[in-house]
Amino acid sequence: MSNEVVVGVEGTVSSEGAVSWGAEAAAARGAELLLVHALGDVEWDDALADAARDVLDRAAAHAREVSPSVKIRTEVEADRPARCLVRRSGSARLLVVGTRRLTPAQRVFSGSRSYEIAAAASCSVAVVPAVPVEADNRVVVGVDGSPDSVAAVAAGAQEAERHGAVLQVVHAWEEPALLLAQGYVPPDMTARLRESEAAVLAHATAGLADRFPDLEVERTLVKAQPATALLAAGSHARLVVVGSRGLHGVSRLLVGSTSHAVILHARRPVLVVRA
């Protein structure tokens, strides 16, 4: 792994926020910032190359305004953006992409390039919305007991510590769908489930006080659909952090997964952590 933060640059509003976030992330990590513009599967001529270089020069100038001390490189590639960035993720420390606003129909039927990249990347991926809402100083992490969500807590704690932010760890749970479909839930089932899910939350946050003694940690256990709970908790957070795969190892590209829903609907930057 190289010490690079790689940012996909398109020359649009959706990638400007990604450049800013990536420049700050590179500075915080003592990493080099690599700005990449992928032309797509097109015939490359001098005019197209010049236009691509202009896009990257403007992005680099913006990154220097955000983080003047960061070392910056720029590269143009004749490849599709998603394929290019997924390949780059194989050696990157962190990959950063922007995301456009989607209509409800687009969210349901077409997904997004940012999710395609986050799902297939080899490293952690930050997905930065084009026009994020104002934030308070909290980092919100969703956990479900999976290895990736435990890694997400560690990554979220590091981000919160860097910014002097509060770390809020959220675990949402639901009663088994089969029992609900049958119309019968044993009288003590809810209490037993709550106790079991509280243990999941406690395990996910175990050791934080030792590793991050000055970090303020809030633990939130809520009976709700996980993506809904996480989007609500993170609606005005500095950052929302999720694992790339859930407890049962479902396919990374499974539409409807918690990470997918959060990426598509979040109004704040989302960090998708690979364990």
Q: What integer pLDDT is reported at residue 255 of this predicted model?
A: 36
Average pLDDT along the chain, 275 residues, taken 10 residues at a time: 91 85 96 94 80 94 96 93 93 91 50 80 91 85 89 96 96 70 64 88 93 96 92 94 65 56 88 87
For the domain made up of 138-273, give the CATH fold: Rossmann fold (3.40.50)
| Dist CA 129 CA 265 (whole Å) | 10
> What's the pLDDT at 55?
94
For the chain, give every domain's residue range: 4-129, 138-273
Q: Which amino acid is at 42?
A: V
User: What tokens appear for 225 in the block?
Assistant: 């659909």
Nearest-angstrom CA–CA distance, 246 and 36: 30
pLDDT at 253: 42
Q: What is the CA radius of gyration of the chain?
A: 20
Q: What counts of helices (H) and strands (E) characterise the chain?
A: 11, 10
Give DSSP secondary structure letters for 63-106: HHHH-TTS-EEEEEESS-HHHHHHHHTTT-SEEEEEE----HHH
Other beta carbons less than 10 A from residue 267's beta carbon: 18
Domain 4-129 has CATH 3.40.50.620: yes
Q: What is the pTM (predicted TM-score) of this model? A: 0.88
Q: How far apart are CA 21 and CA 270, in angstroms?
A: 11
pLDDT of residue 101: 59
Q: What is the 3-state secondary structure (H, E, C) of 182-197?
A: HCCCCCCHHHHHHHHH
Asked whether the domain spanning 138-273 has the same topology as the one spanning 4-129, the reply is yes
Residue-level pLDDT at 250: 35
